[in-house]
Amino acid sequence: MSETTAHAQGPTVQAQEHGQQHPIRLYLLVWGLLFVLSAFSYMVDYLGIQGYLRWTLILLFMMLKAGLIVAVFMHMAWERLALVYAILLPPLLVLVFVALMVSEADYTIFTRLAFFGAAP
């Protein structure tokens, strides 16, 4: 948005005090959307959807909910880009850790099945 010009008008303290004022309507809208998305992800389980469709839907609703909370409730959408990158980029690197552990788990179950058989 035009945050650059908005913040250029007053001293920093004032910008902080009034920087995160947004209409109540926006919060109510996000609140409602979070309810609807939660109901959707609950329906995925209730209707017994399985396989890749289940995964796609669960992750989609999860990311949409997380995005709404961070962007609007936590005001990330209106912060300086320096803060946004400092906070949002590092967790993405956790995905590397996830990939490592998926590979590790695959190896563990392979050795378990190879040496102990299917029964524990």
Partner 1 sequence: MAHPVQTHGEPGLRLAGLRGVAADFSSDQRAFKTASWGKAMMWIFLLSDTFVFGCFLIAYMTARMSTPVPWPNPSEVFALHIGGQDVPLILIAIMTFVLISSSGTMAMAVNFGYRRERRMTAVLMLLTALLGATFVGMQAFEWTKLITEGVRPWENPWGAAQFGSTFFMITGFHGTHVTIGVIFLLIIARKVWRGDFDVERRGFFTSRKGRYEAVEIMGLYWHFVDLVWVFIFAFFYLW
Residue 58 Cα to chain centre, angstroms = 12
What is the distance between the alpha carbons of residues 29 and 49, in angstroms, rounded to a whole number?
Answer: 28
| Sites for partner 1 among residues 12-41 (CB under 8 A) | 12, 15-22, 24, 27-28, 30-31, 34-35, 38, 41
Q: Does 105 bind partner 1 (CB under 8 A)?
A: yes
Residue 116 CB, nearest approach to partner 1 (Å): 8
Q: Are 40 and 61 in contact (CB under 8 A)?
A: yes
Residue 101 CB, nearest approach to partner 1 (Å): 5
Residues near partner 1 (CB under 8 A), total: 67
Q: Closest CB to partner 1 among 21 and 52?
A: 21
Q: Are 9 and 17 in contact (CB under 8 A)?
A: no
Judged by DSSP in three states, 23 sits in: coil
Tokens 């008008």 sit at which residue? 9
Residue 81 vs residues 3, 58, 69, 87: alpha-carbon distances, Å? 11, 29, 18, 10
Binding site for partner 1 (CB under 8 A): 3-5, 7-8, 11-12, 15-22, 24, 27-28, 30-31, 34-35, 38, 41-42, 44-46, 54, 58-59, 61-62, 65-66, 69-70, 72-75, 79-83, 85-87, 90-91, 94, 97-98, 101-102, 104-106, 108-109, 112-113, 116, 118-120
